[in-house]
Amino acid sequence: MTAYSRLEAIFRKTAALGDALAILHWDMATMMPNGGAESRTEQIATLKGIAHETITAPDLAELLTTAATETLDNWERANLREMHREWVHASALPADLVDALTRAESACEMVWREARPASDFKRVLPHLRDLLGLVRQVGAIKAERLGVGVYDALLDQYEPGGRSSEIDPVFTHLEGFLPGFIGEALEVQAGKPPLLATSGPFPVESQKALGLKMMEMLGFDFHHGRLDVSHHPFCGGTPADTRITTRYDDDDFVSAMMGVLHETGHALYEFGLPKGRWGSQPVGRARGMVAHESQSLLMEMQACRSRDFMGFAAPLIRETFDRQGAEWEADNLYRRGIRVERGFIRVEADEVTYPAHVIIRYRLEKALIEGRMELEDLPAAWNEGYGRLLGIAPPDDRLGCLQDIHWFGGSWGYFPTYTLGAMTAAQLFDAAQRADGDILAGLGRGDFKPLRDWLRTNIHGKGSLLSTRELLTEATGRPLDPTVFEAHLRRRYLG
């Protein structure tokens, strides 16, 4: 066997371990009784330990060096690059730190599940402090290995090559743009006829039925996936067994419906990744979380909140909930879907205020990671950020710093990918429409195939063959351009 073929065999094994871990994590978030937490932590820690031991074996560095001298095609060369990246991240950490981090993540998440509904930040604070200490250790070790700052080392885990030096000017520009634009959008909105209320209750079973119909419409493969309920909506599992979740509110069907559409966007990306040989290799995985979030936000925000799609969806919504009247007509439902509101919850935010939610979290997690802020000050700093960018202050921690699972589950450095993903989504949707004039018309008849086909050709099927910048440039003709996102906002909300 060549050095490269031996590497493929090794990474095929780690991919299988990763797939098993993904299903265990999904089960922990959806089905597992609380009493199973200790046992599940042991299972996850053991599998992560085996994966870490496999990818940091003594001969792996030599195999990577030798494989680089062998004759490889473009996909093999890209796969080797991704193997090397994974090896750098894994080999930087000692096994005992990986084990300690895994256990701290599980423990903190389980306490967060109790603290969030009780709005009790102090309950989870000791566990979060322990977890953050370990995350800082990981960041410091990887920063030295990668030659970057501590925050960038953590960001690189979710967005390969992502750097805060590139994010900061984009977010600083948005911080200057958003407050004024939010005011303009609210003023335009106030000048239009009042929205008609769509009152509940909306039975959970009916909401689920609507979600399943829309998942099928978008192209979700139920032979390789399913829909469940969790504390926080997410997409997990594997490309061959993709699990999405949402949460339901009897008084608001839109939240669960949009959550399903968002997570289905993630799932379609997973379904569209390379199959066969590359399906078990690093090059066959999603490029990074900017690309992944672009796919969920493209479906939820760009496509499914469009006037074209709502014209098709309105009769389906009326039929599902057995409602009639002007409040259930397409125009009212469309306007409700793009209603701008200064709210507390990120996952329920409109696309105008959404970037503010992300920027606040980015600034806070960066300060915490870099030691410029203490955890005890997080609730007050959170409220200050909301007051500054959105003009509101959460009344309690449930609606404030406890609302997202990310930090309490160990995902530090993830948040900026949401807004970078939103901007990427706008640019991809713009390019897709220019490439295929039937895409908007397709949405108007509930046909997502033209859009889905374009995405599978230009994004999904390329896996990690290209960098994020190269992927976007090849698909749209230019690297990330925030003006495309801003132009979209102006058309939709000021027009």
Contacting residues for 404 by C-beta, under 8 A, at least 6 apart: 232, 346, 361
Of 127, 95, 152, residue with least CA distance to 410: 127
Which amino acid, residue 162? Answer: G
Element (H, E) at 423: helix 416-435
Give the three-state DSSP class for 342: coil
215: alpha, beta or left? (left if phi > 0; alpha if psi -120 to 50): alpha
Element (H, E) at 225: strand 225-229
Beta partners for residue 242, in sequence order:
225, 237
Element (H, E) at 472: helix 468-476
Tokens of 241: 């067994």
Instruction: Give the separation between CA 431 and CA 435, rounded to whole angstroms.
Output: 6
Q: Does the annotation mark 144 as catalytic?
A: no
219: alpha, beta or left? (left if phi > 0; alpha if psi -120 to 50): left
Q: Which single residue is written with the structure tokens 């990690």?
A: 464
Long-range contacts of 39-43, Cβ-Cβ distance < 8 Å, separation of 24 or more: 40/106, 41/102, 41/103, 41/106, 41/107
Q: Which of 8, 82, 263, 270 is catalytic?
A: 263
Which amino acid, residue 15? Answer: A
Sheet holding 235-238, edge to edge: 225-229, 241-246, 235-238
The single-letter DSSP state of residue 280 is G
> Beta-carbon neighbour count of residue 445 at 10 Å?
12
Of 58, 78, 59, 54, residue with least CA distance to 68: 78
Cβ density class 68-77: b for 16+ within 10 Å, e for less = eeeeeeebbb
Rg (CA), the chain: 22
Tokens of 141: 């070790």
User: Do strands 235-238 and 241-246 pair parallel, antiparallel, or not at all (unpaired)?
Assistant: antiparallel
Instruction: Give the separation between CA 30 and CA 20, rounded to whole angstroms.
Output: 16
> Beta-carbon neighbour count of residue 190 at 10 Å?
9
Q: Give how far the C-alpha of residue 185 lies from the chain's centroid of Cα atoms, to the nearest Å.
A: 26
The single-letter DSSP state of residue 172 is H
User: Do strands 235-238 and 225-229 pair parallel, antiparallel, or not at all (unpaired)?
Assistant: unpaired
Give the active site residues: 263
